[in-house]
A and B are shown apart, each in its own frame.
Chain A
Amino acid sequence: MATSTIPRRNNDSTKTRGRFGVYGGRYVPETLMSALDDLEHAYEKAKRDRKFQSRLDELLRTYAGRPTPLFFAHRLTEKLGGAKIYLKREDLLHTGAHKINNCLGQALLAERMGKRRIIAETGAGQHGVATATVCALFGFECVVYMGTEDMQRQELNVFRMRLLGAEVRTVESGSRTLKDAINEAMRDWVTNVRTTHYLLGSVLGAHPYPTMVRDFQRVIGLEARAQILKAEGRLPNAIIACVGGGSNSIGIFHHFIKDKRVKLIGVEAGGRGEMLGDHAARFRGGSPGVLQGTFSYVLQDAAGQIANTHSVSAGLDYPSIGPEHAWLKDTGRAEYVPASDEEALEGCTLLARTEGIIPALESAHAVAELTKRAPTMKKSEIVIVNVSGRGDKDVGILRKNLKLG
């Protein structure tokens, strides 16, 4: 297994100031520009520093629990009657989701930059918990912004963050979900930028975040590639992952982008319907625009106001998408499909009952797409699903939605 998780060389987007085709860039108030420059330089330097690499790799291994297994889902494969199904088990990581990969990387960076106050946003609470966790580990002060709507549906994670010593600040504005939590975190950062690092949780926001977070997450694909080659002696035919901001999906996709025969499939939140406001399928109802620092597909109205979104899973409930995904979409390298709330709930139950794995509702969207796609594939074909997180946090919602008696 490869040990160096992040690329040491400069790559595509750093040379073009964070552009993926026309997408990406850096659209923030002037006050934040120098902090983003500093972060970019610190990251570029850290990438080339073997000590940084080895500390990160060690933490990923001994603290987070990497590498995560690639599991052959025998019963699910039989049940769906098509392609061989493998599950990348990011749900087994410490804190319960892939978010910890990025948090450890950024915490090491914050330490290098001498910033000991960390702020973060969270939707499902998984990034908030991972941030609170690394802050406890590094002895940082930690403030997490979370919309009140999300706090209700992800109550357990709110408590976990507080238990870990983080301050959870409620966000009452707008739709009271992830987007509004990011607004509040940006307002905090613009105020305390000299002392504070903003530990953004997805491949969103201004450059260098989309590139940096991608680099910290690409370990998922790096491992999956080696694991599938070991298990099957060849690359998979398709990889399926859910896409909110898009960090778990870009993490598993990135190492396969050059392998043109591997289909990359991102699954967005189809929510409860196709009307604007009822879903978070940016590639179905969105158009290019600027939100929270980056140029990408955005769900918006005719006047350029950002639309409300809906998804049963808080982690996918966001009106924009990482700029690299926008580029992968436009170039046709990846394909993006929606899965509805209902389909995700069914996917969750299916995985629970056939493999004994309760996925996060976010990851359940990827399972939903799998149930449509696997039966159409040949038995000799292979598909990998990224199980980005575990479903413990969603038990309350599942209970409300599934009538199990």
Chain B
Amino acid sequence: MSLSFQKRPALVAYVTCGDPDLATTRAVVLAAIEAGADVIELGVPFSDPVADGPVIQRASERALRHGTSLEQVLRLGKEVRSKSQAGLIIFSYLNPILRMGLTKFSAALEDAGIDGVLITDLPVEEAGDYLREMRKRRLDTVFLAAPTSPDHRLKQIAKASSGFVYAVSRTGVTGARKQLPKDARELVRRLRRHTKLPIAVGFGISSAEQFAAVGEFAEAAVVGSAIVETIERNPGKEPEAVAQFVGQLLAAPPQLSARQGQR
């Protein structure tokens, strides 16, 4: 029960919880783990997801339509934990957590057996109280590093992070892109100077080729919007569709593409 990356690259899979409903999310998460996902990011839907592109915005709206709450997501995490030892992270905007209260939140995380948290709109400068609460219970705190983060910030980010560091592959919101930007490799190289933690690269990764390419320079790749879109497009058979998608991601890519990825 900790964040560990078994293969390279490891797969960190994001889902928006409650899209289309919590029972489906649970089935999707278990199917993704079964298909080979190492860590699951349990996304807490938020009314104003400023860091997200259209796919996750739509998923959040669907999840909020029937009132999916942080409390329910924590309960879902506990259910998943009773069935699996895969890494579990809460991925959220700050306000739902503030509303619950940091103490209650961290206690619930511990109780559920969830490993850690990533808060999209909480930069290291504002994270003092949060870090204290999380450290008390030995919970992991994953922070984002961006291509626009200067070295002095990367140092702070590395210091505040535990479990792994999340390297944002490019400037922009979440969502699939055809190509893996050059920014990502450069950012990971800069981050390495400040940390020995594993690094997961995310934002825009949707194909087996991109996934394999990330493995050349980082320990893990985060896939979010592509999974959420798979859920959106396969009503009634979400778990099977996600399992199949994850299987494709993890399958060795064709040689040609792998070479392209190395360039």
- Asked if A and B are interacting partners, one says yes
Residues in chain A within 8 A of chain B (CB atoms) = 17, 25-35, 173-174, 179-180, 183, 186-187, 190-194, 288-293, 298, 300, 302-306
| Most interface-central of A27, A179, A194, A298 (chain B CB within 10 A) | A27
Complex partner residue of B172 from A179, A190, A293, A305, CB under 8 angstroms? A190
Q: How many whole Å from B248's CB to the nearest CB in chain A?
A: 28
Q: How far is the CA of A351 from the CA of B16 in the complex (A)?
A: 51
**Closest chain A residue, CB of each to CB of B72:** A303
Smallest CB gap from B68: residue in A: A303
List, sorted by A's number, 13 A–B pairs whose CB atoms are closer than 8 Å.
A29-B120, A29-B121, A30-B148, A30-B149, A187-B50, A187-B52, A187-B53, A291-B95, A300-B99, A303-B67, A303-B71, A304-B97, A305-B96
CB-defined contacts of B168 to chain A, threshold 8 Å: 29-31
CA distance A289 to B53 in the complex (A): 23
Answer yes or no: B150 CB below 8 A from chain A CBs: yes
Q: 4 smallest A-B Cβ distances: which pairs? A: A304-B99, A304-B96, A303-B69, A31-B146
A191→B173 contact, CB < 8 A: yes
Given contacts A30-B123, A298-B95, A302-B99, 20 further A-B contacts (CB under 8 A): A29-B51, A30-B168, A31-B146, A32-B148, A34-B150, A174-B47, A179-B48, A186-B50, A187-B50, A187-B51, A191-B171, A191-B172, A289-B98, A290-B93, A290-B94, A290-B95, A292-B50, A300-B99, A304-B100, A306-B47
Q: How far is the CA of A305 from the CA of B173 in the complex (A)?
A: 20
Report Cα–Cα, A28/B122, bound state, in Å.
Answer: 6
- The answer for the CA separation of A304 and B48 in the assembled complex, in Å, is 11
Contact indicator A190/B173 (Cβ below 8 Å):
yes
State the B residues within 8 Å of A (CB). Answer: 46-53, 57, 61, 64, 67, 69-71, 93-100, 120-123, 125-126, 143-150, 153, 157, 168, 171-173
The residue in A26, A31, A33, A288 that gathers the most chain B C-beta atoms within 10 A of its C-beta is: A31
Tell whether A30 pairs with B172 under 8 Å between CB atoms, given A300-B99, A306-B48: no
The residue on A at minimum CB distance from B148 is A34
Contact indicator A30/B126 (Cβ below 8 Å): no
Assembled-state Cα–Cα distance A300/B143 (Å): 26
B121 touches A27 (CB 8 A): yes
- The reply to whether A30 and B144 contact each other, CB–CB distance below 8 Å, is yes
In the complex with contacts A30-B143, A290-B95, A194-B47 CB distance below 8 A:
no
A-B CB contacts (within 8 Å), total count: 119
CB distance from B143 to the nearest CB of A (A): 7
Distance of A398 Cα from B94 Cα, bound (Å): 39
In the assembled complex, which residues on chain A have CB atoms less than 8 Å from the CB atom of B153?
Answer: 30, 33-34
* Contact pick for A34, options B50, B120, B122, B149, CB 8 Å: B149
CB-based contact A187/B173 at 8 Å? yes
A291 to B64, CA, bound (A): 17
A190 to B123, CA, bound (A): 14
A109 to chain B, nearest CB (A): 19
- Bound together, the chains give a CA A226 to CA B61 distance in angstroms of 51
Residue of B nearest to A191 (CB): B172
A190 in contact with B94 (CB, 8 Å): no
Inside 8 A of A289's CB, which chain B residues have their CB? 95, 98-99
Most buried by B among A29, A32, A194, A302: A29
Distance in angstroms from B91 CB to nearest chain A CB is: 13
For B145, list chain A residues within 8 Å (CB).
30
Complex CA gap A17/B126 in Å reads 10
A305: chain B residues at CB < 8 Å are 46-47, 64, 95-96
Question: In the docked arrangement, what's the CA distance between A26 and B121, Å?
Answer: 9
Q: Considering residues B50, B123, B147, B153, which has the most beta carbons from chain A within 10 angstroms of its beta carbon?
A: B50
Q: Assuming A30-B157, A190-B50, is B64 touching A290 (CB within 8 A)? A: no
Closest chain B residue to A175, Cβ basis: B47
Q: A33-B149, A191-B171, A290-B98 are in contact. Are A26 and B48 (CB under 8 A)?
A: no
Q: What's the Cα separation between A186 and B121 when bound, in Å?
A: 12
Give the shortest distance, in Å, between A125 (CB) and chain B (any CB).
21
Q: Which one of A179, A194, A288 lies within 8 Å of B171 (CB-CB)? A: A194
Q: Report if A28-B121 is in contact (Cβ < 8 Å); known contacts: A174-B48, A179-B48, A305-B46.
A: yes
Known: A300-B95, A303-B71. A192 touches B150 (CB 8 A): no
Chain A residues with CB under 8 Å of B47's CB are: 174, 305-306
Contact B96 A303 (CB under 8 A): yes
Find out whether the CB atom of A27 lies under 8 angstroms from the CB atom of B64.
no
Distance between A397 CB and nearest chain B CB, rounded to angstroms:
26
A27:B122 contact, CB within 8 angstroms = yes
- Min Cβ gap B54→A in Å is 9
B123: chain A residues at CB < 8 Å are 26-30, 33
